[in-house]
């Protein structure tokens, strides 16, 4: 259930760029506290950014081809 909510939140953030916490609660028919917990967890995972009652998607880091691949390997 939480996984489905997280996917729905990401989809809504993609569609609207920035969404209000209260809008998410209404759209997903859950409490504000549930949305806040979800957004905190998603922010901790680096999926979204939270600011002043809003959420937005985190832009993925730029890819630089083989250099980016080497950096990923060296950090593993």
Structure confidence by residue, pLDDT tens digits, 15-62: 998 999 999 999 999 999 999 999 999 999 999 999 888 998 887 655
Torsion of CA 14, 16, 22, 25, to 10 degrees: -50
C-alpha–C-alpha distance, residues 45 and 29, integer Å: 23
Identify the CATH number of the domain in which residue 25 sits: 1.10.10.10
Q: Which residues contact 20 (CB under 8 A, 6 or more apart)?
A: 53, 54
**Position 48 in a domain:** yes
**Position 8 in a domain:** yes
**Position 25 in a domain:** yes
- End-to-end alpha carbon distance in the chain: 31
Enter the pTM of the model.
Answer: 0.73
**Position 75 in a domain:** no
Beta strands in the chain (DSSP E): 18-20, 48-51, 54-57
The tally of domains found in the chain comes to 1
Structural domain of residue 52, as residue ranges? 2-57
């Amino acid at each position: 259930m939480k996984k489905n909510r997280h996917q729905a939140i990401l989809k809504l953030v993609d569609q609207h760029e920035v969404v209000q916490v209260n809008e998410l609660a209404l759209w997903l028919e859950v409490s504000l506290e549930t949305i806040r917990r979800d957004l905190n967890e998603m922010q901790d995972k680096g999926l979204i950014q939270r600011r002043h009652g809003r959420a937005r998607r985190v832009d993925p880091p730029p890819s630089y081809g083989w250099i980016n691949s080497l950096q990923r390997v060296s950090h593993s």
